[in-house]
Amino acid sequence: MDLYLKILRTAVRSTPQTNHHLQYILEFLAQLILVLGSSLHIQHPEGMFCKFYLNNSSARPSDEEWEKGRRLGSGTFGLVVLWTNKEKGTTLALKHYKGNMDQKNHDRWIQEVLIMKTLKHPNVVRAFDVPEQLKVHSSNLPVLAMEYCSGGDLRTVLSKPHSSYGLNQMTVNDIISQVADGMYYLHENNIIHRDLKPENIVLKPMAEGKVVYKIIDLGYAKDIGHGSIPQSFAGTLQYAAPDLLQKKPYSKSVDYWSLGILSFELINGRRPFSPVDNDPVVGW
């Protein structure tokens, strides 16, 4: 029983109120474990409980201290800040909502958090459970904890003087190949990104000079897994497919258009279309 009590105390923030109830929780769990073990014909079910708990770090909050770092940027709806675990040296990019929120943006924010937590691909930024200590820095809305990519975004790369006429062919091939892999993964999971652009591609430097390119910011993403056919505009005008501008039903193909615009910009250092102030349709 002492072992279970120790486990419970690491699983909750220690306060007089929580400590007062731990023993009651423990007794309930002990009875539950015995009942489950008996019904499933499991010998020593308490051992399985301990093994599961100790082998799954996500089953309990982290006790380490986190240090707030610099602001990494802003997404569609959220502000992203770097946090570092001072004991382990691990980092997280924590995204929380900025400003006031209407119902439409609230729904989009919830959608982004839900989608991100289901994805696992090397070319899509990973989402993790938010450490318990960092939840106090959030509002009542869900917070998104993501892997930190220290190389910045493609917009930063394209803004450098040596990139004014585009990137070299090998780099372009590498970027487009990886972004296309990430996009294909999203499409296989019935998700349209709808806002592919240099600002939403980040770089994660790896060993031996290799760089992994990852898709971020699913604030405008659309899940079409239940037969939903989108037709509303979302995204950034300079990278938006004509289908989006016409507000007609569209499919995953709108992401291919954005990828094409991105490819042109990587090769030439500029977008294929220049903003036209007097254009009544585009109005960039």
How many C-beta neighbours within 10 Å does residue 281 have? 9
Q: Which CA distances in Å does 28 have to 2, 51, 144, 269? A: 14, 19, 33, 64
Residue 159 exposure: Cα atoms within 13 Å on the Cβ side: 7
Q: Report the distance separating Cα 54 and Cα 51, nearest Å.
A: 5
What residues does 121 pair with on adjacent strands? 124
The structure tokens listed for 176 are 């487009």
Percentage of the residues of the chain whose pLDDT score is greater than 90: 38
Instruction: Indicate whether 15 pLDDT > 80.
Output: no
Residue 144 region, left (φ>0) first, then alpha (ψ -120 to 50), else beta? beta
- Give the pLDDT of residue 194: 94
The domains located in the chain, with CATH, are: 66-147 (3.30.200.20)
Q: Which CA distances in Å does 210 have to 92, 155, 157, 213? A: 21, 19, 15, 10
* DSSP tag of 124: B
- Give the pLDDT of residue 1: 47
- Give the pLDDT of residue 38: 58
- Give the pLDDT of residue 57: 39
Question: For the segment 151-199, what is each residue's pLDDT rounded down to a tens digit?
Answer: 999 999 999 999 989 999 999 999 999 999 999 999 999 999 999 999 9
Query: Which comes out higher in pLDDT, residue 51 or 229?
Result: 229
Window from 86-90, 188-192, 263-267 with minimum mean pLDDT:
86-90
Cite the active site residues.
195
Window from 107-116, 150-159, 168-177, 232-241 with minimum mean pLDDT:
107-116
Mean pLDDT of the chain: 79
Structural element, H or E, at residue 95:
strand 91-97
- Give the pLDDT of residue 135: 73
